[in-house]
């Protein structure tokens, strides 16, 4: 008999996957994984790629939904993620939670909270549960789980350096624009 791994196992795996970004040029604390709810079979995982893709909507959860739907569409399964569960290193923002609801995901399990993330970067302070309960689409929201492990992504020394760059980013860009190309 095969047993489905626990929520902790999946969350720990997506935290490890996200932690690998800390030694790359673009460290991010946000990663997500989608698994089939009934079998626990992993479908797809992705990291935040806002900087890499120059796309403010390229949050980990939203990218994971996009990739999952594309993968399922190839198998002729349409665009619904009903029957699937998402594990995310951080509580989904209002944009991602809305997307999760539209996608039909059964459940989302998160690590760190929006408040945890907000200590380091800008956030929209609406709890994922509130977005879910105010919609017509059913989706169970579970978390925080493995919060300390997930929060360690935000306090990694390489991540802290990048947060500083995010804060000074617009000013740096303005300076560069003044100097030359603008």
Listed as own residue / partner, the contacts of 49-53 with beta carbons closer than 8 Å and 24 or more positions apart are: 51/26, 52/26
CB 31 to Zn ion: min, Å: 12
Q: Which is nearer to Zn ion, 56 or 157 (CB)?
A: 56
Range in contact with Zn ion (rule: CB under 5 A) among 19-27, 89-97, 104-112, 139-147: 89-97
Q: Which is nearer to Zn ion, 35 or 98 (CB)?
A: 98
Measured distance CA(136)–CA(172) in Å, rounded: 43
Range in contact with Zn ion (rule: CB under 5 A) among 19-27, 95-103, 126-134, 144-152: 95-103
Cα separations (Å) of 129 from 61, 69, 110, 117, 139? 15, 23, 11, 16, 9
Q: Which is nearer to Zn ion, 4 or 94 (CB)?
A: 94
Name the phi and psi angles at 159, rounded to 5: -70, -40
CB 163 to Zn ion: min, Å: 16
CB 145 to Zn ion: min, Å: 18
Query: What number of chain residues touch Zn ion (CB under 5 A)?
Result: 3
Q: Which is nearer to Zn ion, 35 or 114 (CB)?
A: 114
**Would you say 38 and 83 are in contact if contact means Cβ atoms under 8 Å apart?**
yes
Residue of 68, 93, 96 lying closest to 82 (CA atoms)? 68
CB 93 to Zn ion: min, Å: 3
93 binds Zn ion per the rule CB under 5 A: yes
**Would you say 109 and 143 are in contact if contact means Cβ atoms under 8 Å apart?**
yes
List, in order, residues 6 or more apart from 179 with CB less than 8 Å away. none
Range in contact with Zn ion (rule: CB under 5 A) among 45-53, 94-102, 146-154, 174-182: 94-102
Write out the catalytic residue numbers. 61
Instruction: Name residues contacting Zn ion, limited to 25-64 (CB under 5 A).
Output: 59
Residues that bind Zn ion (CB under 5 A): 59, 93, 96
């Amino acid at each position: 008999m095969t047993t489905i791994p626990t929520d902790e196992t999946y969350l720990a795996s997506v935290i490890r996957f996200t932690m690998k970004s800390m030694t790359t040029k673009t460290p991010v604390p946000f990663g997500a994984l989608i698994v089939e709810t009934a079998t626990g079979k992993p479908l797809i995982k992705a990291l935040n790629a806002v900087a890499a893709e120059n796309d403010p909507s390229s949050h980990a959860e939203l990218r994971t939904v996009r990739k999952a739907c594309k993968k399922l569409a190839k198998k002729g399964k349409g665009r619904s993620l009903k029957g699937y569960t998402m594990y995310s290193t951080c509580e989904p923002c209002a944009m991602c939670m809305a997307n999760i609801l539209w996608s039909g995901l059964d459940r989302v399990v998160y690590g760190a909270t929006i408040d945890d993330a907000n200590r380091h970067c800008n956030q929209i302070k609406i709890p994922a549960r509130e977005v879910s309960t105010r919609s017509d689409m059913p989706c169970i929201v579970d978390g925080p789980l493995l919060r300390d492990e997930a929060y360690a992504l935000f306090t990694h020394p390489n991540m802290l350096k990048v947060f500083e760059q995010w804060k000074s980013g617009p000013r740096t860009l303005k300076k560069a624009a003044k100097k030359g190309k603008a």
